[in-house]
Amino acid sequence: MDWQRAVVFSTLLAVSWCAEDLTFPPGFKFGAATAAFQVEGAWNVSDKGESKWDRFCHEFPHKIQDRSNGDVACDSYHQWKRDIEMAEELGLHFYRFSVSWTRLLPSGFANHISEDGTRYYNNLIDGLLEKGIEPFVTLYHWDLPQSLQDLGGWTNPLVADWFADYARVVFTLFGDRVKWWITINEPIVICDVVYNSGIMAPPIISPETGAYLCNKNVMMAHARAYRIYDEEFRPKYQGKVSVANHHIWFDPLTPADAELAELARQNAVGRYAHPIYSKTGGWPASIEKALEEVSLKRGYSKSSLPAFTQEEIEFVRGTYDFYAMNHYTSRLIRKAREGETFNFWPFADCIDLGAKVQKQEDWDVTSTFWFFIHPEGIRRQLAWLKQQYGDIEFIITENGFPTVEGIHDPIRIKYYKAYLKQVLLAIKEDGVYLTGYTAWSLMDNFEWSDGYATKFGLYQVDYNDPHRKRTPRDSARFYKNLIKTYTLDDGATQDEL
Ligand SMILES: *[C@@H]1O[C@H](CO)[C@@H](O)[C@H](O)[C@H]1NC(C)=O
């Protein structure tokens, strides 16, 4: 072959490779997500009980950027038909939402099931199914009943019993129609972020103890719910259950920091995933050792990370039907210098490992302080998870981008494209068995300590409108088109919405 023909040939190859590379595999599923506290509002209607987030916003308004709360939010409690309509407009295969524990069980316990709460979720589930959209349901997305918080919340080992009872009620009521379940959303936020930062509910600072008690209790609660589904509901309903972890990808600042970066991954991901997904179960060995050392050095009689019994290790191990990954951002990690102070939030500096994080110079920042753009991170995270836990089914259960205002959001489209390209590389080049992707979020909503200032929505929500009018952004058109064409190819036409 002469050089000219070789060039033409390789160009053709490159073009066909690119075209192929930008296409999602047949059967791949696209969805979008919300969470109860962030969208429902109606915090005190009917017999609904108070959640720890209701209490937190009312009692500590200064801890929310715009001093707002979830009292009305997107009013999805009343606007659920519009929510289904938006899911239908986008052509979503599934809609991921969460059940509000206190809407269903006002006291927090399973002694009384709210008829009003049951009706609300039945309407939402049935409405989605009528449109051919699968409900993908999270049992717990941070809104613990205040009654249970008053008893110690996630630091009390009994929380596993309370969660198990709640899970059984939800599976009993909705399991005939819901086939995709997440037990708990982002345990690292419930435990590490909460007890290290004070910026989330409850505002209790207990990094050396609370975070680790919570860590073990969340693992036990998840496993209880999984086992209940497995034994009592799977034979009838054949659904799938997992836990959705939050993943920040860590790269070493210099080659000398490689070992520390791996320890940080085991700390931030392994501490919540290894007990469930690894072959051996229990805590990652490197973390167990590091935390015991630091606890003894601090004068404790034993590790702050509570041990699992052998029976508990077996009980938690293997309690998954797929791997649910939430991912947004990355960090570079290095060893802390002498005298340096630590900033746990945005959850990444780790005083217990002597690790400091930073942004790589060329990573763009976003409108929210914890979020730097690093598309390659999502691919590396997936590859790492596959290498750690094996060739299991992965679903991205959250990924998205924040802006502050506007219907025209080219930067959000750019983010989705860049991240989704990396997702395709994970599937095609790294052989990750990834079957679904979930955009966060279907609509703007109450973004925790950012209040309503940070907007993740494919749809804009007008908070001055009593009906909380929802309007599609440009990114909604992009996503609709992607779902229709299965390709990120720019040439594909964009539909009206
Ligand atoms: C519900 O809460 C709102 C504040 O968000 C308050 O104005 C209203 O009176 C409360 N309703 C009931 C029935 O307590």
Among the listed residues 128, 133, 79, 122, the one whose alpha carbon sits nearest the alpha carbon of residue 99:
122
Beta bridge partners of 153: none
* Residue 1 in this model has a pLDDT that exceeds 90: no
Q: Is the dihedral of CA 398, 401, 405, 406 positive or negative?
A: negative
Ligand 1: which of 40, 43, 44 to mutate, judged by most atoms within 8 Å of the beta carbon? Answer: 44
Cα separation, 449 vs 446, in Å, equals: 8
Quote the pLDDT of residue 4. 55
Share the mean pLDDT of the chain: 94
Quote the pLDDT of residue 343. 81
Cα separation, 166 vs 154, in Å, equals: 14
User: Among all chains, which residue has been given the structure tokens 């909705």?
Assistant: 174
Pairing between β-strand 180-185 and β-strand 240-252 as defined by DSSP bridges: parallel
Domain residue spans of the chain:
3-485
* Residue 8 in this model has a pLDDT that exceeds 90: no
CA of 23 to the centre of ligand 1 (A): 49
Query: Residues 181-234: pLDDT tens digits?
Result: 999 999 999 999 999 999 999 999 999 999 999 999 999 999 999 999 999 999
CA of 154 to the centre of ligand 1 (A): 28
- Report which protein residue has its CA nearest ligand 1's atom 4: 71
Quote the pLDDT of residue 342. 87
- Report which protein residue has its CA nearest ligand 1's atom 12: 44
CA of 41 to the centre of ligand 1 (A): 11
Q: Is the dihedral of CA 425, 276, 92, 441 positive or negative?
A: negative
Whether the CB-CB separation of 133 and 89 falls below 8 Å is answered with no
Confidence of residue 19 (pLDDT cuts 50, 70, 90): very low
Question: Stretch 70-96: mean pLDDT, rounded?
Answer: 98
CA of 67 to the centre of ligand 1 (A): 17
- Report which protein residue has its CA nearest ligand 1's atom 6: 44
Quote the pLDDT of residue 370. 87
Cα separation, 117 vs 108, in Å, equals: 13
- Report which protein residue has its CA nearest ligand 1's atom 10: 44
Quote the pLDDT of residue 441. 98
Query: Residues 400-427: pLDDT tens digits?
Result: 999 999 999 999 999 999 999 999 999 9
CA of 103 to the centre of ligand 1 (A): 15
Record the pTM. Answer: 0.95
Which of 80-84, 196-200, 298-302, 471-475 has the least mean pLDDT? 196-200
Cα separation, 320 vs 165, in Å, equals: 19
Amino acid symbol at 489: D
Whether the CB-CB separation of 151 and 212 falls below 8 Å is answered with no
Residues classed as catalytic:
186, 398
Identify the residue with better confidence: 343 or 486.
486
Tokens for 60? 């500590």
* Residue 389 in this model has a pLDDT that exceeds 70: yes
Query: Residues 128-149: pLDDT tens digits?
Result: 999 999 999 999 999 999 999 9
- Report which protein residue has its CA nearest ligand 1's atom 14: 44
Please state the atom number of ligand 1 nearest to the C-alpha of residue 44.
Answer: 1
Query: Residues 315-347: pLDDT tens digits?
Result: 999 999 999 999 999 999 999 999 998 887 666
CA of 58 to the centre of ligand 1 (A): 12
CA of 44 to the centre of ligand 1 (A): 6
- Report which protein residue has its CA nearest ligand 1's atom 8: 44
Question: Stretch 430-443: mean pLDDT, rounded?
Answer: 98
Q: Report how far Cα 136 is from the mean position of its chain's Cα atoms.
A: 13
* Residue 101 in this model has a pLDDT that exceeds 80: yes
Quote the pLDDT of residue 494. 60
Please state the atom number of ligand 1 nearest to the C-alpha of residue 45.
Answer: 13
Whether the CB-CB separation of 75 and 8 falls below 8 Å is answered with no
Please state the atom number of ligand 1 nearest to the C-alpha of residue 71.
Answer: 5
If DSSP states are collapsed to H, E and C, what string results for the chain?
A: CCHHHHHHHHHHHHHHHHHHHCECCCCCEEEEECCHHHHCCCCCCCCCCCEHHHHHHHHCHHHCCCCCCCCCCCCHHHHHHHHHHHHHHHCCCEEEEECCHHHHCCCCCCCCCCHHHHHHHHHHHHHHHHCCCEEEEEEECCCCEHHHHCCCHHHCCCHHHHHHHHHHHHHHHHCCCCCEEEEEECHHHHHHHHHHHCCCCCCCCCCCCHHHHHHHHHHHHHHHHHHHHHHHHHHHHCCEEEEEEEEEEEEECCHHHHHHHHHHHHHHHHHHHHHHHCCCCCCCHHHHHHHHHHHHHCCCCCCCCCCCCHHHHHHHCCCCCCEEEEEEEEEEEEECCCCCCCCCCCCCCEHHHCEEEECCCCCCECCCCCCECCCHHHHHHHHHHHHHHCCCCEEEEEECCCECCCCCCHHHHHHHHHHHHHHHHHHHCCCCCEEEEEEECCECCCCHHHCCCCECCCEEECCCCCCCCEEECHHHHHHHHHHHHCECCCCCCCCCC
CA of 110 to the centre of ligand 1 (A): 25
Among the listed residues 397, 415, 405, the one whose alpha carbon sits nearest the alpha carbon of residue 471:
405
- Report which protein residue has its CA nearest ligand 1's atom 1: 44
Cα separation, 350 vs 212, in Å, equals: 13
What is the CB neighbour count within 10 angstroms for residue 225?
27
Give 3-485's CATH code, choosing from 3.30.70.120, 3.20.20.80, 3.40.50.1400, 3.40.50.720: 3.20.20.80
Query: Which amino acids bring their CB within 6 angstroms of ligand 1?
Result: 44, 71
Whether the CB-CB separation of 73 and 39 falls below 8 Å is answered with yes
* Residue 2 in this model has a pLDDT that exceeds 80: no
Which of 37-41, 160-164, 251-255, 343-347 has the least mean pLDDT? 343-347
Quote the pLDDT of residue 490. 75
Please state the atom number of ligand 1 nearest to the C-alpha of residue 72.
Answer: 5
Within 8 A by CB and 6+ apart from 328, the residues are: 248, 371, 398, 399, 400
